[in-house]
Chains A and B, each alone.
Chain A
Amino acid sequence: MLVPGADFPHLCTQCEDYPCVEACPFKALSVNKKTSAVLVNAKKCTACGKCIEACPGRIPHMHPADKKIVICDLCNGNPQCVKVCQEGGWNVLKTVTRGEHPYELYARRPDEQTRNLATKLYGEKAEEFI
Chain B
Amino acid sequence: MEIDLSDGTFKDVTFDDELLEDYVGGRALAAKILCNRLIDEWEKVDPLGPDNVLLFLPGPLTGFFPGGRVCVSGKSPQSNGVVGSTVGGEFGVELRCAGYDGVIVTGQAEKPVYVFIKDSDVEIRRAGNIWGKDGKETNTLLNKECRRLLSERYPRYGEWKEPAKVYIGPAGENKVRTAVVMAKWTHAAGYGGYGAVMGSKKLKAIAVKGTGPLPEVANLRKVRRMINAVNKNAYDNVLWRRWGTGGGGYSFAANTSSEPIRNWQEEWHDEKSYGVDQFENRVWVKQAWSDFGCPTNCLKIAFVKSGKFKGAITDNPDYELQAYLGPNLGLFTPEENVFMSSLIDDLGLCGIQTGNVLGFAAELFQRGILSKDDLDGIELKWGDAEAFAKLAKKIAFREGVGDLLAEGTYRAALKIGKMKGKDVLQYAVQSKGIGIGAHGIRSGKDFSTDIGYACSVQCGDHTSITDLPLDGSGSEVWEAFNDSAVLCNFNAFGLPRNFKFDFYNAVTGLELTREGWAKGGGLKTLQIQRALLLLGGPDLKWNPRIHDDNPARFYEPLPSGPYKGKAADRTSVRDNVQKYYQEAGWDENGVPKSDTLKKLKLEDVDKALRKLRK
Contact = CB atoms under 8 A, between A and B. Distances in A.
Q: Name the 8 nearest CB pairs between A and B, nearest first.
A: A5-B185, A49-B156, A64-B211, A61-B158, A58-B159, A4-B139, A4-B143, A1-B161
B125 interface: no
A60 B295 CA distance: 27
A109 B161 CA distance: 13
Contacts of A49: 155-156
A65 B295 CA distance: 29
A47 B156 contact: yes
A61 B157 contact: yes
B140 interface: yes
Interface string A108-130: 00100000000011110100110
A16 interface: no
A116 B235 CA distance: 29
A2 B561 CA distance: 48
B212 interface: yes
Contacts of B184: 4-5
Given A64-B211, A64-B212, A125 B313 contact: yes
B566 interface: no
Nearest to A121: B285
Contacts of A48: 156
A112 to B, nearest CB: 12
B301 interface: yes
Contacts of B157: 61-62, 64
B231 A88 contact: yes
B303 A123 contact: yes
A92 B290 CA distance: 14
B158 A5 contact: no
A87 interface: yes
A5 B311 CA distance: 17
A65 B210 CA distance: 12
B159 A129 contact: no
A10 B159 contact: yes
Nearest to A1: B161
B136 interface: yes
A92 B311 CA distance: 27
B159 A5 contact: no
B212 A52 contact: no
A37 interface: no
Given A2-B162, A58-B158, A122 B303 contact: yes
B231 A4 contact: no
22 contacts: A1-B159, A2-B161, A2-B162, A4-B139, A4-B140, A4-B162, A5-B139, A5-B162, A7-B161, A7-B162, A7-B292, A48-B156, A49-B156, A52-B158, A59-B158, A59-B159, A60-B158, A61-B158, A88-B235, A90-B288, A123-B303, A128-B140
Interface in A33-79: 47-49, 52, 57-62, 64-65
B140 A129 contact: yes
A13 B454 CA distance: 57
A121 B303 contact: yes
A120 to B, nearest CB: 8
Given A1-B162, A62-B158, A125 B143 contact: no
A121 B313 CA distance: 9
Contacts of A5: 139, 162, 184-186
Interface of A: 1-2, 4-7, 10, 47-49, 52, 57-62, 64-65, 87-90, 92, 110, 120-123, 125, 128-129
Contact of A62 (B140, B156, B285): B156
Contact of B212 (A6, A61, A65): A65
A52 B301 CA distance: 32
A6 B311 CA distance: 17
Nearest to B165: A4
B305 interface: yes
B286 interface: yes
Contacts of A65: 211-212
Interface in B216-246: 231, 235, 241
Given A4-B143, A88-B231, 16 more contacts: A1-B159, A4-B162, A6-B289, A52-B156, A58-B158, A61-B159, A64-B157, A65-B212, A88-B235, A89-B241, A92-B288, A110-B159, A121-B303, A122-B285, A123-B303, A128-B136
B134 to A, nearest CB: 11
A126 to B, nearest CB: 10
Contacts of B212: 64-65
Given A1-B162, A5-B186, A122-B303, A87 B235 contact: yes
Contacts of B136: 128-129
Nearest to B211: A64
Contacts of A6: 185, 286, 289, 301
A4 to B, nearest CB: 5
Contacts of A125: 303, 311, 313
Nearest to B311: A125
Contacts of A92: 288
Contacts of A52: 156, 158-159
Most chain A C-beta atoms within 10 Å of own C-beta, residue among B139, B157, B159, B212: B159
Given A4-B140, A129-B136, A121 B161 contact: no
A1 B209 CA distance: 13
A117 B141 CA distance: 19
Contacts of B119: 64
Nearest to A117: B286
Contacts of B140: 4, 128-129
A62 B186 CA distance: 31
A88 B303 contact: no
Contacts of A129: 136, 140
Nearest to A130: B140
Nearest to A64: B211
Interface in B198-215: 211-212
A47 B157 CA distance: 9
Contacts of B295: 88
B152 to A, nearest CB: 14
Contacts of A4: 139-140, 143, 162, 184-185
A123 B158 contact: no
A125 B313 CA distance: 9
